[in-house]
């Protein structure tokens, strides 16, 4: 029996999209206003989903307090009120598109779920850049 359990967290950050191999003109042509050199920013919503069978002692796939603490300590505390291009170690050299952020969050969280859940594994990362735009990643 498998149940999926999801926890939503949020963070606010600045970024810009800019390929260092391209001219300023090409970056503006491809990325439009997202390439604004003085940055822009977003309120991001992050939904982390863990799948597994409920522990018979607790009825939990994963304790959501512990999942929330893990996401905050390992991910959102490192990006909240930060510049994603400049301030975040694990984004150095990575274009801060929503796609790439979700993949990096997966890499950080996937190995750490077993420490907080006997039967659960990371199932997906859903990341909203705006209420109209979001991405999902399910691992390689």
**Those residues with Cβ within 8 angstroms of residue 130's Cβ, 6 or more apart along the chain or in another chain:** 42
Question: Could you tell me the smallest distance in angstroms from the CB atom of residue 47 to a copy of itself?
Answer: 9
Active site residue 15: no
Question: Could you tell me the smallest distance in angstroms from the CB atom of residue 114 to a copy of itself?
Answer: 18
Q: Which is nearer to a copy of itself, 94 or 108 (CB)?
A: 94
Site residues (vs a copy of itself, CB under 8 A): 1-10, 12-15, 17, 19, 21, 30-34, 36, 38-43, 54, 57-61, 63-65, 80-83, 86-87, 94-100, 102-103, 130-138, 140
Active site residue 92: no
Question: Could you tell me the smallest distance in angstroms from the CB atom of residue 95 to a copy of itself?
Answer: 3
For the record, the structure tokens of 32 come out as 């439009």
Among candidate residues 34, 42, 74, 99, the one labeled active-site is 34
Active site residue 81: yes
72-80 contacts, C-beta under 8 A, 24 or more apart: 72/9, 74/108, 74/109, 74/112, 75/9, 75/46, 75/105, 75/108, 75/109, 76/9, 76/10, 76/11, 76/46, 79/11, 79/13, 79/44, 80/11, 80/12, 80/13
For the record, the structure tokens of 82 come out as 């930060």
Among candidate residues 2, 29, 81, 136, the one labeled active-site is 81
Residues assigned a catalytic role: 34, 81, 129
């Amino acid at each position: 029996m498998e149940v999926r359990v999801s926890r939503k967290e949020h963070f606010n950050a600045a970024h810009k999209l800019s390929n260092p191999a391209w001219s300023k003109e090409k970056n503006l042509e491809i990325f439009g206003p997202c390439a604004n050199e003085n940055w822009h920013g977003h309120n991001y919503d992050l939904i982390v989903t863990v799948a597994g069978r409920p522990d018979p002692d607790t009825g939990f796939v994963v304790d959501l307090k512990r999942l929330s603490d893990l996401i905050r300590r390992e991910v959102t505390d490192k990006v909240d009120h930060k510049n994603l291009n400049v301030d975040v170690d694990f984004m150095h050299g990575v274009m801060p598109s929503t796609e790439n952020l979700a993949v990096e969050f997966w890499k950080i969280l996937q190995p750490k779920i077993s420490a907080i859940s006997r039967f659960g594994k990371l199932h997906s990362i859903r990341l909203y850049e705006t209420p109209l735009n979001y991405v999902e990643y399910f691992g390689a």
